[in-house]
Amino acid sequence: MTTQRIKEGDSVLPGERLGVIEEYLPGEGTFQDEDDVIYASITGIVHIDMKERKISVEATTRTPVYPKRNDVVLGEIQHVTKKSAIVNIFQIEDTPCPVTFSGYLFIKNTAGGYVEQMRDLFAPGDLIIARVQQQADGLARLSTVGTRFGVIKASCSRCGEPLHLQGRRLECTECGNYEQRKLAKNYGKLSKAEPVEEEPPIEEGI
């Protein structure tokens, strides 16, 4: 186990010592222990980024899907409070998740400006595209700042019918109701992913 120094391109296994925290930042596929030693957590190939002084392991096995920083995710608003929303993430990048993951969207990270209340921008049941800001304690912190991000599908809060884009707001063709959302650029079109109408794994209650 304590062999020579780990080099770029080495094959490592879980639990293998990679270095100490003074040498590198622990990147993906690694973990830092209480003793400030960095170990590999997966089977793979070592990459050392000397610019950022970061050591990571690229998996040679299959990798379980879960939201990582900077992933673009597709989710459903589950719950809206005054300042935040809980999102069920069911697609990460282009991969449907075998499980839904929880995401947290704080009001500050919604539109890039001042927003009075979360319910001005989102309602439960909306499908949104968001970016993962960070993953902490199993909760992905999301952001919808940017034209690409926001609601891509919403239904009328009065009658439940799908809302249609009418100028810059959403109109319900059934009951004539108008609603406001933080809209993604391509509202109504589920981006590149073809199987658009894919239902999220049914998720009820908190």
Which stretches of the chain bind other proteins, using CB under 8 A? 1, 11, 13-17, 29, 31, 33, 39, 41-44, 59-64, 66, 98-102, 137-139, 201
Q: What is the C-alpha separation between 167 and 36, in angstroms, rounded?
A: 56
Q: CB nearer to other proteins: give 11 or 147.
A: 11
Q: Residue 108: which residues within 8 A CB-CB, separation 6 or more? A: none
Token code pair at residue 5: 């120094």
Query: 3-state SS string over 139-187?
Result: EEEEECCCCCCEEEECECCCCCCEEEEECCEEEECCCCCEECCCECCCC
Q: CB nearer to other proteins: give 188 or 200.
A: 200
| In the complex, minimum distance from the CB of residue 145 to other proteins, in angstroms, rounded to a whole number | 25
Q: CB nearer to other proteins: give 44 or 75.
A: 44
Token code pair at residue 82: 């005054």
Q: Show the beta-strand stretches assigned E in the chain.
A: 11-12, 17-20, 25-26, 30-32, 37-40, 44-49, 54-59, 72-80, 84-92, 95-106, 127-136, 139-143, 150-153, 163-166, 169-172, 178-179
| In the complex, minimum distance from the CB of residue 1 to other proteins, in angstroms, rounded to a whole number | 5
Q: Residue 155: which residues within 8 A CB-CB, separation 6 or more? A: 125, 126, 161, 162, 163
| In the complex, minimum distance from the CB of residue 99 to other proteins, in angstroms, rounded to a whole number | 4
| In the complex, minimum distance from the CB of residue 30 to other proteins, in angstroms, rounded to a whole number | 9
Q: CB nearer to other proteins: give 15 or 160.
A: 15
What are residue 71's DSSP bridge partners?
A: none
| In the complex, minimum distance from the CB of residue 62 to other proteins, in angstroms, rounded to a whole number | 5
Q: CB nearer to other proteins: give 9 or 113.
A: 9
| In the complex, minimum distance from the CB of residue 138 to other proteins, in angstroms, rounded to a whole number | 3
Question: Helix, strand or coil for residue 53?
Answer: coil
Q: CB nearer to other proteins: give 59 or 72.
A: 59
